[in-house]
Chain A
Amino acid sequence: MKRFLLPLGIFALVAVVLGVGIWRSPEKGVIVSPLLGKPAPQFSLPNLTDPAHPVRSADLRGRWYLFNVWGTWCVECRAEHAMLLNVQRSGRVALIGLNWRDNDAEALSWLQQLGNPYQTVAVDRSGREAIDWGVYAAPETFLVNPQGIVVYKHIGALTEEAWTREILPRLPPPVASKS
């Protein structure tokens, strides 16, 4: 008898998820990562645009950067792209991309077509680097401080709201322009 109730139970769960999905469709959430407050993983990865110079975590020490995980197969990443270009234009923080489980040619043509917001893009074809960062789906964005500590993580497309409420307040005040 009980096993015949199982489908109904599963459906009830799905219905709850769908209900919550509609309920919350306008707002998008945040999650804590086990990496928060811990040093970012050490890496040395191929450089998408400049194969002669690998991207190394050691070279990034001493400044703030946003580590953005993306792929051309990811629909949300396309939605996020305009926001990333805004971030780049603001000049407040460098964007380092991690091109995750992708094809180099497609990634390059993506950047060519939509514009390249990244200072450098590291390539993680196998997905091994993303495991170190605890990435489970793209896009994800990590804010790393000059000491190499992850101070904030955003899951999903980076929004204007996350940028102004969560990321900007954590960054040092903008350097007064050279006068």
Chain B
Amino acid sequence: MLPELGHFALILALLLAALQALFGLAGPALGRERWMAAVTPAVAGQAVMVATAFACLVSAFVGNDFSVAYVAENSNSALPLFYRVTALWGAHEGSLLLWIALLASWTVAVAIGAARLPPRFAARVLGVLGLVSFGFLLFTLATSNPFLSIDPPAPDGRDLNPILQDPGLAVHPPILYTGYVGFAVAFAFACAAMLEGRLDQHWARWTRPWTTAAWAFLTCGIALGSFWAYYELGWGGYWFWDPVENASFMPWLVGTALVHSLAVTDKRGLFKSWTLLLAILAFSLSMLGTFLVRSGVLVSVHSFAADPTRGVFILAFLIIMIGGALTLYAWRAPLLKSSAGFELGARESFLLFNNVLLVIAAATVFAGTLAPLISDALRLGTVSVGPPYFNPTFMLSMLPLLALLSVGIHANWKRGRLKDRQRTLLYTLVGAAVLGCGVAFGIWSHGALLTPVGMTLAIWIALSSLVDPFDRWRRGLSLPRAVIGMTVAHLGVALAVLALTTVQSFTSEQDVALAPGASATVGGYDFRFEGVKPVEGPNYDAQGATLVVSRHGARVAVLKPEKRQYWVQRQVISETAIRMSRGSNILVALGEDLGGGRWSLRIQIRPLVSLIWLAALVMAIGGALAASDRRYRTQQVAAAAGAAAAEPAA
């Protein structure tokens, strides 16, 4: 009964989304006040319906209702309760429902915040969000209904893909999707502004907190995904330039550009059409990510669910949404004039460089991700472009970006008087270079050419970011959250550069074959292999190895990597064992049984690798701080009042 109720609620949600889009877009266009007033109830109704559908699917999973095809395919009665809930987004249909539920949540939040916006503008924003929701609901109902039943019901389920039975993956998709979907809000604000044909500085101020919040979620989501891939996929890498990873990374790069470009539009009223374009692009890339992952056009290491008919549907939807938005852009953007100018060397120029470099980085990732598709379209066969392409091309735009970041922080708005700051710049750079080279050559005596460069950049960024807050503090000025947030986020960038440089330069890795009692030495640690014993889990059998790790004779840790065979899917998963020691991650993965008690093992020591994820968290915290700045709340009221007063004249 509940699955039918869920299905019905989803259909009602589709209808309400249609109404929300219709009233939200047609109301302001035709000047119908009552239509516009109906938008918020439609939003609320849709949210209730989506929540009902979501709850129905959760209860089907929790109650082991194997008459629902999706539950039978992705769950099992032996699956622990926690994973029965998270199995909801373990495959395509449920992921879509999660996407829709998150979009509904964002829409409700926008509707609550929209009380402070001019009503016409608010109706249009919600109308565009309704259109997006309508598309995704239609897609779900037409091609990927999670409530389809099977008759007779399956006696038991086929179980959740074992690789997804992990706490990291339980939280990764919701947070990542919250970021993805959050860019829909920026997109809706951009479309509404273009429909209005008017974009002022208030617009940027309204859009900024939403965009920054979405960006912070996306940052967390990507970091969690990378962390999950590190310990669960068993290869010990933290980034693979895999299409699924790239799909989340491209909107992040463009989103980062958007966050900065919005700052210029907010502060100086510049870059208007560019900001609009970035807002469209960020969400387009989020949707394209869904397309790439879900349509099966690209083969990926960890893509699940692939189906060309779904691809056709998403493509049609993309053409309508992105094509529509870009047509609107071509028509309306020329009307937007930027009045003010700025000098070369002013902060605006640095933010322009930032934007251009980030977009170039996104374009390189885009080209690399789509290269297999393009070569296929031109009948060149299937190929995959790996790290040999991505690593150098990505560095090419990142190195100048990081170097300019330190200079740009010191620059003033409007005036290009960098000379005044020459001494600070020089001092921080020299200090950073001394420290950076000292760390690179002092602590570790070896390393690549880029090691001191990376270290120097990281320390320079950290020092430069702290100059302004320190200066304000010394002069007794207030420190608004926006400034603290920016500083924290930039310190996160410095941390990330430091961690990536260290990991890339000083990882020791070795694949060894050991008999029980034998030892191997990797990166200064001794690993004594104690042998392999069978282990029984709740829904799997495993071979568990024991390794005693010591350094200079002193015991550091006992690591127990496993190789699990899950009962239902008969899939073998390597469960790595990871331990922190002196800032390094020691990772051991159990390989093959070589006979006679000998096993192959992968041993890896990555210094500071945990800092990569910590850095992402720091960036996200910076974003959260900036998004919660008081001026977004207080000034909105004033701005809305001003705009409302101006309305009758328009």
Contact = CB atoms under 8 A, between A and B. Distances in A.
Top 9 A-B residue pairs of the complex, sorted by shortest distance between their CB atoms: A155-B381, A156-B382, A156-B381, A29-B379, A137-B383, A20-B377, A73-B386, A8-B326, A109-B511
Nearest to A78: B301
A48 B334 CA distance: 60
Contacts of B379: 29-31
A179 to B, nearest CB: 36
A18 B291 contact: yes
Interface string A72-103: 01111101000000000000000000001100
B382 A155 contact: yes
Contacts of B380: 29, 31, 155
Interface centre among A14, A16, A31, A137 (most CB of B within 10 A): A137
Interface string B122-137: 0000000000000000
Contacts of A7: 277, 280-281, 326, 329-330
Nearest to A100: B388
Contact of A25 (B297, B388, B509, B600): B297
B318 interface: yes
A18 B373 contact: yes
A8 B330 contact: yes
Nearest to A5: B330
B246 to A, nearest CB: 12
Contacts of A8: 323, 326-327, 329-330
Contacts of B373: 17-18, 21
B382 A76 contact: yes
Interface of A: 1, 4-5, 7-8, 11-12, 14-22, 24-26, 28-31, 71, 73-77, 79, 100-101, 105-106, 108-109, 112-113, 127, 136-140, 154-157
B296 interface: yes
A73 B311 CA distance: 27
Given A8-B330, A79-B299, A28 B510 contact: no
23 contacts: A14-B370, A15-B318, A18-B291, A18-B318, A20-B376, A22-B308, A28-B381, A29-B381, A71-B386, A71-B388, A73-B388, A75-B300, A75-B384, A76-B372, A77-B384, A112-B600, A113-B591, A113-B592, A113-B600, A139-B383, A154-B381, A155-B380, A156-B383
Interface centre among A1, A7, A113, A154 (most CB of B within 10 A): A7
A17 B370 contact: yes
Contacts of A101: 388
Given A22-B315, A73-B388, A31 B308 contact: no
A105 B510 contact: yes
B508 to A, nearest CB: 11
Interface residues of B, number: 53
A145 B300 CA distance: 34
B383 A138 contact: yes
Contact of B323 (A12, A17, A100): A12
B384 A138 contact: yes
Contacts of A26: 308
A113 B171 CA distance: 32
Contacts of B382: 28, 76, 155-157
Contact of A18 (B297, B323, B387): B297
B319 interface: yes
A145 to B, nearest CB: 21
A141 B319 CA distance: 37
A9 to B, nearest CB: 9
B315 A18 contact: yes
A79 to B, nearest CB: 7
B52 interface: no
Given A4-B273, A113-B591, A22 B295 contact: yes
B331 to A, nearest CB: 8
Contacts of A14: 370
B383 A76 contact: yes
Contacts of B323: 8, 11-12, 15
A22 B312 contact: yes
A106 B600 CA distance: 13
B310 to A, nearest CB: 9
Interface string B581-620: 0000000000110000000101000000000000000000
